[in-house]
Structure 1
C-alpha cells in the first residue's frame, strides 16, 4: 500500500536518505526564490545582490498583479455600462450576482499580495532567521545535533517535512495546470457576450491576465503556507520531545543520585529554555503576520460561503466551486489551530513538571 501511495501521490516513506529529502526541500526553496518569498533562499544571505533577471522578474510580476487587480476593481467596484463590460471581458455580464464573483477574487488577490509583501518585509528585517535551520540541514542532515531532538523525532520530522514539501509542490503544479481550463469552462458556460472575433480577443486576453494574477496570488499563499506548516511541524515535534524529556526527568528525580540529578536538571532546564527562546523569538517577530493570515483567511472563507449559500452566482456548480475554495480556508485554519493548541499544551506540560521538580 505504501508503495502504491508513493507511486500515485509521490509521497515518500520514512526510510529515504537525507539527500532525497534535501532535494525535495530544495525544490520548494527554488519556488520560494522564484516568487521572491525568500529572495536568497533559506540562507537569507543579505550580501547576495539580486541579478538582472531577478529585477526583470519582479517588474513583470508587478505588472501582472497590477493589471489583474485593476481589472478586478473595474469589474467589481464600478458600475460600468455593458459596452465597457464587453471590452473588459466580463463573461458574467447580465448575471445579477456577477460583481460578487469578481469581488471574491479581488479580495483574494489583494490579500495574497499584501501577505506576500508583509512576508518579504519580515525577511528583509531579519525576523525569519529561524528558517535558516533548513539551510543548515542541507549540509549537516537531519541529526540530533542540528534539530536538538532525539533521533526518533528527527526521523519523524524528516518524514513529515519531506512529504509536506512534496504536497505543496504538487498542489502548486495542480493549481497552475487546472486553473486555466476551469476559468475557460466557467467563461464558456455562463457567458452571454456576443460571439464575435473581437469579443473573443477581449475576453481571452483579460481571462489570461486573470489567470496569471490568480495563479501568482494563490501560489504566494501556498508557498508561505508551505513554509509555515513545515516549520510548525518542527516546533510540534520539538515540543513533544522536550515534554517527554521533562516528564521522564520528573519521574526519575527521586531515584537519581545527587550528582546525576544536578547534571540531568541542568540539561533539562537548558533544553526547555532553548525551546522557550525559540518560541518567544518566533512569536515576537512573526505573530502579526500569523494574525493577519488568520483574519484574512477567515474573512475570505466567510465571504466565499456567503456568496455560495446566500447570494448564489448561478445556483449550480459555480456556487459549489466557491464553497469548496472557501471550505479549504476553514480546514487550513482548523488544522493550524489544532497544531498550535498541541504545542501550547506541551509547553504547559513542561511548566507543570518543572514545578514538580522544583
Structure 2
C-alpha cells in the first residue's frame, strides 16, 4: 500500500546499466579494442567474491527499468530517488585512464538521457574517474553544470591511494567550488582482505562497512572535511554499525596518538572538541551523512549519540531489497519508539533533500 501520509526520499537507489545504451556514447573506434570483443568496456556486476551458490530474496536483482522504477516510487509513495550504478560500483578497478574517463562520460550521458529527463523524481550522482583526479574534477563540473547531477559517487576500492590523500584533492576542490555532494558507495570488496572468503554472505557483510570505514577515516583524519567545507560528504550502503565503531575508535586513538603534523595538513580539532563532538557538529551542519536502511538495531542509539541530522534513508532497490522488504523496513523505522517524529522525518526526508540539495516537484503531503 502506498505511503500517503509523509514525505519519503530514497537517498540511494540503483539502476542496472544498459550496455548498448552506454556504448552508444563511446567513440565508435573503441569497438576495435580487444576488451570490447571479450569482456565489454567495464567490470561486470560482481567481482570474483560474488561467485557463489547462494540464494537471493525473491524479486531481487531484477532490472526494473524506467517504468519499473516509476511503479516502485508510486507504490511506495516516495517523492524522489537518487540513482547510483550497479556494475559500475566496480568502476574504480579500471586501470586504463582513457577508458575510465570515456566510460564515466558515457554512463553520465546515458543516465541523463534515459532516466533524469524522463521523470522529475529521478535524481542522479555522476561517475567520475578517480584513477585520474584532474579529469575527474572536470567531469564532475560537467555532470553538475550540464547534466544536472547532484554530485558524484566515490568508489570504495581500486584507486592507488586512500581517499584522504593529496592526489584526490583536485576532486574535492572542484566539489567545494560547486557546493555539491560526494558520496562514497561500497559494493566492490576486492583488496580488503576478503579475497579468499568462500561464503558470499561473509564478503557482503564485511566488504561494505570495511570499504566505507577506511575511506571515511582517511578523509576525516587527513582534514578533507575542513579543507573543503562546502562539500557534503555521504557514506552509503554500509548501515550504521561501522560508523559507531569508527567514531568510538577514532575518538580514543586520535586522543592518544595525535599526529605531530609539522606542516599542519591533517585534522586539527578546535580546543574542547574530540572526534565525537567534531562529527556531531559536522552532521548537524549537514556536511556528513550516513546512509541507513531503516531496520538497523543501532539506529536509535546512533541518533541519540550524534543527533538526527546525519542519517539518511536508503532503499537499495532493486538489489537485495525488494518492494516487500523495503515496506517492512520503513514500517520498522516508523514503529521504532526510541525515535521521535522529528527523527523519523529527518531520516526519511529532510536529510536527503539537504544532502543532495534539490527541490521536490510534488506538493507537500
TM category, shorter: under 0.3
Judging by fraction of residues, say which structure has more strand.
2
The two structures have a TM-score, normalised by structure 2, of: 0.22
The structure showing larger relative contact order (alpha-carbon pairs under 8 Å, at least 6 residues apart) is: 1
Larger Rg belongs to = 1
TM-score (ref. length: structure 1)? 0.22
